[in-house]
Structure 1
Amino acid sequence: MTEQHSTPAETFPQAAPPPAPAAPPPAPAAPPPAPAGAPAAPAGPPAPADAPPAAPAAAPRDRRKLFAALRWTAAVLVFGAAGTGAAYGVIQPERTDIPGLATLGDGRWEYPALAKPALPPGAALPFAKDNEDGIHYAGLTQLLLPAPNGSVPDPALKLEKDSAVSVDTLMEEYEATAREKLKQGLADNGLRQVVARGWTTPDGTRTRVYLLRFHSSGFADAFEGCGADMNLSGVNRIETDSVWGKAKVEQGAPDTTGVTVMEESAPVGDDMVRAACVQSGDVQAVILQTRKGTVPVVPLHQTVILQHQLLS
């Protein structure tokens, strides 16, 4: 994204010299009939040289228009233009390029490049005309968001082969009194598979992303373990994330159908919890972040948007 900004700045100075050399040739032709006009020839180049400075001045205005659409995160801007591309990069643009994020250290994470996994031969994309129920035929592990650069794997997350986790491991995220009912609901609703990834960033934020695959979107929609009434371990009450809602209304947003973002209600204990639910067809994502003190808003929003894009 930085390259997009630097290219215009370099183009304008290169465009200025051509008019200057072009002016001198007519000047030599003039001296034979009118020698006194020779001094006027050098006066021609300064005039074109004055025009180019105005062009670079327009570049900042163009950049402001280009990046003023969203404030969310680096991820929003990158994925907003990705469309249905098979692969796309996730980077951190310079803060000065995005109004509202002009300060250093706003907390955004830098993720590696992402690529949507290849489908089995003949398999349809989720939500294609011949797959309106949104069945994901790609491997569930391949749909998991990778950990951001600089993070370390969460040793407390009990992973099995190919990032699979047991239902009991998932249930550890919930209060003991809610586990039995949730487990029964998963059994009744045809849970097929659960995979997860967890990491901790240098600031102490611990993230866990769970993907649950069901037999159909209807079963995924019936899952009661993610939402405003979810009973998370150590959390008295959880409510809708007001910052997320405000950003969607005021700044516009990519399609976030099936996405719910929440935060722990005050009073908060030693560790704060933020959570998000992303339902996409037959897959339900449960995203949890915890940290001592408070959990920054931006990293969760960034994580949610990227995971949503991988599933869409």
Structure 2
Amino acid sequence: MTDSSSLTVDGPAGPAGPGTPPAAGRPRRLRRSLPRVAAALVVCGLLGTGIAYGITAADRTDLPGLGTPGDGRWPYPEQHRPPLPHGAPAPFAKTPGATAGGPSGVHHADLGGLRLTAPEGAAVDLDKTGGKDAPDTAAFTAEYEAPSGDLLRRHLADYAPRRTASRGWTMPDGTRARVHLVQFESAAVAQYFRLTVLNDWKGTVVNLRDARTVVRDDGYESAVQARPGDVLDSAVEVYRQTGSGGARSVRYAYLFAGDTVALVVHSRPGGTVPTAFYQTVALQQQLLS
């Protein structure tokens, strides 16, 4: 396994986004280190420059964490995708076997195992899963201020998610991180939830706590880069709080991966670290792709 603290520099590449799925027959060993960090770059936002991650198309097993050379990244351990049930295809597999497991975009693996593992030094203070017939959306909806949280609870009762999973932790610098996964009956239902509940043609329509006024965060696409041939079967919407109306500075992202919607939140008094947030979103995106 490649040492994630020894990363090489990649050249420029296009932004991460949905693409064509990996070819059948790919070996089950991780081909290359997940992140390729441009070592000459320093903290995005803090020092006025940027940091780039090259995201590789990984197999359904291990994803290495990222080293922390002092530019704001967190010391994530190696991430592990949970095993697939016998005979079940990967969510975006385009192989003959995929037809037997149902439509594309279905996550058959344990949803709790698809949550990002907390970095070293974190104090884990949220760990919840809700299986089929018993999804628990309370942790997810608690991220939203009233009346947005109440609105989401009513909509989720109608959309009837299949499974839920949440994990949260607090870092020594006071950053509070949350990852919530909500799995629906199909990719079509998840997309409808996205377009009718979370967003409208103007943008986001529900407000997180301490983040009533937000703008799209274009820094993620420039910070996270994929090389030609990389595959990320998920869409990402990234937001950052503007103004000083809340007690904590907030950044958050929605990930839309087939039948699953993920919410990733970082909040911290005074200000969040963009590099650590982008790193968290990128790793969670890989786990779901």
When normalised by structure 1's length, the TM-score is 0.66
Partner of 1:89: 64
Q: Of the two structures, which has the highest relative contact order with CA contacts closer than 8 Å and spacing of 6 or more?
A: 2
The offset of 1:79, in angstroms, is 6.9
Query: How many residue pairs get matched?
Result: 237
**Is 1:118 equivalent to 2:83 in the alignment?**
yes
Amino acid at match of 1:76: P
Query: Which residue is equivalent to 1:265?
Result: 242
What does 1:182-197 align with in structure 2 at a 5 Å threshold?
Answer: 182-197=152-167
The counterpart of 2:258, out of the listed 252, 267, 281, is 281
Q: Is residue 264–residue 272 contact of structure 1 (8 Å, CA) maintained in 2?
A: yes
Structure 1 residue 176 and structure 2 residue 146: aligned?
Answer: yes
Separation in structure 1 between the aligned mates of residue 279 and residue 4 of structure 2, nearest angstrom: 22
Q: Offset of 1:87 from its aligned partner?
A: 1.9
Please tell me the residue identity of whatever aligns with 2:63: Y
CA deviations on 1:211-270 (whole Å, 9 max, x unpaired) are 10110011112232477333112322121113224446xx66665541111101223433
The one of 189, 203, 212 aligned to 1:219: 189
Name the aligned partner's letter for residue 215 of structure 1.
E
Shift of 1:114: 1.5
Unaligned runs of 5+ in 2: 16-32, 37-52
**2:278 is the counterpart of 1:301:** yes
Greater shift in the superposed pair: 77-86 or 179-188: 77-86
Q: Percent identity?
A: 34
Q: Distance in 1 between matches of 2:6 and 2:138?
A: 50
CA distance in 1, matches of 2:145, 2:272: 20
Secondary structure, counterpart of 1:208 in structure 2: strand
Give the corresponding residue for 1:206.
176
Q: What does residue 215 of structure 2 align with?
A: 239
Q: Which residue identity does 1:301 align to in structure 2?
A: Y
Q: Deviations over 1:102-128 (max 9, x none)?
A: xxx211011111222111111011111
Match of 1:141 in 2: 112
Q: Is the 8 A contact 2:127 2:166 kept in 1?
A: no
Number of the residue aligned with 1:27: none
Give the structure 2 partner of residue 39 of structure 1: none
Instruction: Say which of 265, 286, 290 aligns to 2:267.
Output: 290
1:76 is displaced (CA, Å) by: 3.0
Q: CA RMSD in A?
A: 3.1
User: Is the 8 Å Cα contact of residues 190 and 219 (structure 1) preserved in structure 2?
Assistant: no
SS at match of 1:260: strand
